Amino acid sequence: MRQLFNQLISFPYFFKIAQISFPYLFLLSISVILLGVLWGVFFSPVDVTQGEVYRIIYLHVPAASVAQSIYYTMVIASVTYLIWRIKMASVFMISMAPLGAIFTFLALFTGAVWGQSTWGTWWVWDARLTSTLILLILYLAIISLFSSFDRRASTDQAVSIVVLIGGINLPIIKLSVEWWNTLHQSASITLSGSSIDNEMLIPLLISILGFYLYVTAIGMRRMQVEILKREISHNWVKRIF
């Protein structure tokens, strides 16, 4: 176990693994997303109250879920970096932050389209929407940190400090925003059960799985690029190309 971990955090080894597994993972993720979304759009029943438009759920929920999960994994990576100085953790953070921003934006966008037809407005200042918007701002702030230092190690350290503080603060922000205002329907899927009918739930879960696979694949690719940027002068890179 420990040996496997040590191998995974070494740049050359990870690069090799990612190089081999990327095409399969990417194709798998695309096909799972297509399966979930197409099933959801064409074969699952129509929602009684919301009509056909609810089908955007098959993009909205996975995107929102992925957007938050990326942040939490980044928090874990930041702790890992700050304590053990594992360079792979900072590579992970720096590669994932733009992905997180994109998915947060996607979640906000699909949510706006959905809100337009069910609530009648593109945007409401509701707790969840607001905290997602803040998440987006946080991602953008982290991304803007990337270029504000001359030395690699400083950037890594600064990014992980901000990610960590943001991670501690995010639940507080969410809670305070919730006291401030709430209109969004509460989460329909929890660990204890689901208020969604099975016929809609299964394609939704497949779609969520697909999004996670997609993020894993693209994230690995981005990490490879980041590793190449850092290690460009090393021998093992020259041997590959």
Chain residues binding another protein by CB under 8 A are 82, 134, 137-138, 140-141, 144-145, 148-150, 153-154, 157-158, 161-162, 164-166, 168-169, 172-173, 175-177, 179-180
Q: How many Å apart are CA 225 and CA 86, to the nearest integer? A: 18
Provide the minimum distance between the beta carbon of 142 and another protein in the complex, in angstroms, as a whole number: 8
Provide the minimum distance between the beta carbon of 180 and another protein in the complex, in angstroms, as a whole number: 5
Complex with another protein: residue 142 or 208, whichever CB lies closer: 142
Complex with another protein: residue 137 or 240, whichever CB lies closer: 137
HEC letters along 123-138? CCCCHHHHHHHHHHHH
Phi, psi torsion values for 120, nearest 5 degrees: 90, 0
Q: How many Å apart are CA 223 and CA 210, to the nearest integer? A: 20
Q: How many Å apart are CA 80 and CA 75, to the nearest integer? A: 9
What distances in angstroms separate CA 14 from CA 47, 80, 204, 218, 221, one per listed residue?
A: 45, 17, 31, 14, 11
Helices (H), 39-125: 57-84, 87-118
Provide the minimum distance between the beta carbon of 167 and another protein in the complex, in angstroms, as a whole number: 11
Provide the minimum distance between the beta carbon of 163 and another protein in the complex, in angstroms, as a whole number: 11
Complex with another protein: residue 83 or 225, whichever CB lies closer: 83
Complex with another protein: residue 164 or 200, whichever CB lies closer: 164
The number of residues in the chain equals 241
Complex with another protein: residue 118 or 157, whichever CB lies closer: 157
Provide the minimum distance between the beta carbon of 66 and another protein in the complex, in angstroms, as a whole number: 20
Complex with another protein: residue 18 or 164, whichever CB lies closer: 164
Q: How many Å apart are CA 1 and CA 189, to the nearest integer? A: 33
Provide the minimum distance between the beta carbon of 143 and another protein in the complex, in angstroms, as a whole number: 10
